[in-house]
């Protein structure tokens, strides 16, 4: 595998295919994800959903967000699409499924159809964001947690719908700390602070962590597969400038290491 570091976050890996990646290759990717947050695998034009699912399962058991539609014939994948919509989908900076006690470790997208224009996916490096955070604000949040809640998904009785997570969260593999938050509408409470104080702290963290110097925009090309580490990055899709159909298939890996 050939690795090119992206700025300020991410790595581009060439010289391999999803089918070729055996145990050693997966371990190398796992390390790259912990170090760089995002891995872009271009040139996967021949990859099928079956290949995509098999690739993800080499990392460990898969996860699926309840309440979302699955891809035809592949219940572990869901479809991210603007086809048939009269208004662009909404996307704000977030971490996937953070309202459960054990959020998914990795998320991946396979480009099924890319638009004529636009539709980039943006990634923000939360380890870098923590190192550049105002020292006084970091001291304030160092030992606090946020209550993450679900929005926009219909769940059944008994499903998890909220969970507390530390704001400064050590990476499960490296131990390196990073900010762990999601879109402010899903950050319902900050431990030890009033509602007003909590909203202010979340807004300040969110603004800082998504500053341009922390962000890499991935412009999709046919055959791209992109996988990222939810303990390391926030992400969002840029839908406002899209012209044409944009269809992605998404899969998630439950844990950084199989139990």
What string of pLDDT tens digits covers the 259 residues of the chain? Answer: 999 999 999 999 999 999 999 999 999 999 999 999 999 999 999 999 999 999 999 999 999 987 787 899 999 999 988 888 878 777 899 999 999 999 999 999 999 999 999 899 999 999 999 999 999 999 999 999 999 999 888 888 888 999 999 999 999 999 999 999 999 999 999 999 999 999 999 999 999 999 999 999 999 999 999 999 999 999 999 988 888 999 999 999 999 986 5
- Read off the tokens for 80: 């991210």
User: What whole-number distance in Å separates Cα of residue 83 and Cα of residue 163?
Assistant: 33
In this prediction, residue 232 carries a pLDDT of 97
In the CATH scheme, what is the homologous superfamily, with its name and number, of domain 1-254?
Clavaminate synthase-like (3.60.130.10)
Domain boundaries defined on the chain: 1-254
In this prediction, residue 128 carries a pLDDT of 96
- Which DSSP symbol is given to 121? E
Burial 140-159 (b: 16+ CB within 10 A, else e): bbeebbbbbbbeeeeeeeee
In this prediction, residue 55 carries a pLDDT of 98
In this prediction, residue 17 carries a pLDDT of 96
In this prediction, residue 51 carries a pLDDT of 97
- Read off the tokens for 70: 């699955």
Per-residue pLDDT tens digits for 45-75: 999 999 999 999 999 999 998 778 789 999 9
User: What whole-number distance in Å separates Cα of residue 57 and Cα of residue 158?
Assistant: 27
User: What whole-number distance in Å separates Cα of residue 115 and Cα of residue 113?
Assistant: 7
């Amino acid at each position: 595998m050939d690795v090119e570091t992206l700025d300020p976050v991410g790595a581009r890996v060439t010289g391999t295919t999803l089918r070729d990646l055996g145990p050693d290759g997966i371990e190398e990717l796992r390390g790259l994800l912990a170090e760089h947050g995002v891995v872009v695998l271009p040139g996967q034009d021949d990859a099928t959903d079956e290949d995509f699912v098999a690739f993800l399962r080499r990392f460990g058991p898969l996860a699926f967000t309840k309440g979302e539609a699955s891809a035809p014939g592949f219940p572990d994948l869901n479809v991210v699409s603007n086809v048939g919509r009269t208004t662009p989908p909404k996307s704000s900076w977030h971490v996937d499924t953070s309202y459960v006690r054990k959020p998914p470790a990795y998320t991946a997208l396979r480009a099924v159809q890319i638009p004529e224009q636009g539709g980039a996916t943006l990634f923000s490096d939360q380890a870098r964001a923590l190192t550049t955070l105002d020292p006084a604000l970091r001291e304030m949040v160092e030992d606090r947690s946020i209550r993450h809640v679900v929005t926009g998904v219909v769940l059944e009785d008994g499903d998890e719908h909220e969970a507390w997570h530390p704001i400064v969260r050590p990476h499960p593999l490296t131990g390196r700390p990073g900010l762990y938050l999601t879109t402010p509408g899903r950050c319902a409470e900050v431990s030890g602070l009033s509602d007003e104080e909590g909203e202010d702290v979340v807004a300040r963290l969110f603004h800082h962590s998504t500053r341009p110097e922390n962000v890499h925009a991935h412009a999709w090309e046919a055959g791209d597969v992109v996988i990222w580490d939810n303990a390391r990055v926030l992400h969002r899709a840029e839908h406002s400038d899209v012209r044409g159909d944009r269809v992605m298939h998404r899969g998630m890996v439950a844990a950084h290491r199989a139990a």
